[in-house]
Amino acid sequence: MSTLHDRLVKVYNRSLIAALFAALVSCEVGMKDQDKQPEGPLHRVVASKPVNIPVGSEVKGTYESIGIGELFELQQTGKVLLYDVRVPYFYQIDHIPGAINWPHTWYDEEVQKRDIEIQIAQNAGKKVVLYCFNLGCSEARNVAKKLTRRGYSLYVFSSGIDTWREAGLQLDR
């Protein structure tokens, strides 16, 4: 019986090859989906009050990486607000249970709707985590950087859904 560590090492080796391909596909599909409007039960809308950030504001949050073990524990205990920043096509194929699809291509359109969701989660002691495909996928880090400018402190599951999948953990479809 292999350990989680053994599985992750195996996944890492495979993920390096897939990383560039996944990032390119995501960007290409994202550009095609850019003009699509959110639809269906996979899109969760939360009414919110916008957070006003003055021009030149020094409000800064932070983001750091989170590992699969810690994310799994948070996900199992309900102590995480989890965002999948891949485009809807990939989210509909599979995603980590409990994840909300917030495509990186819709960041500007949805950020004000997500403000209240993030604030409620953080006030409840939950960690906010973003993920995309794998280490080669920069979308989660890019969204995290934008959110830190809004003052949020959050986490990025950098190894992404590919590692979750390869570790044999549950996925929703």
Distance of CA 154 to the CA centre of its chain: 10
DSSP secondary structure string for all residues of 7-45: HHHHHHHHHHHHHHHHHHHHHHHHHHHTTPPP-STT---
pLDDT, tens only, 31-56: 334 333 334 333 333 333 445 555 45
DSSP assignment, residue 118?
H
pLDDT, tens only, 136-151: 999 999 999 999 999 9
The sign of the CA dihedral 81, 143, 170, 127 is negative
- Put simply, whether the predicted model's pTM sits higher than 0.85 gets the answer no
159: CB partners within 8 A, 6+ apart: 8, 11, 12, 15, 67, 68, 134, 135
Q: How far apart are the first and last CA of the chain?
A: 27
What is the pLDDT at residue 151? 95
Average pLDDT over residues 52-75: 82
**Number of other residues whose CB lies within 10 A of the CB of residue 14:** 13
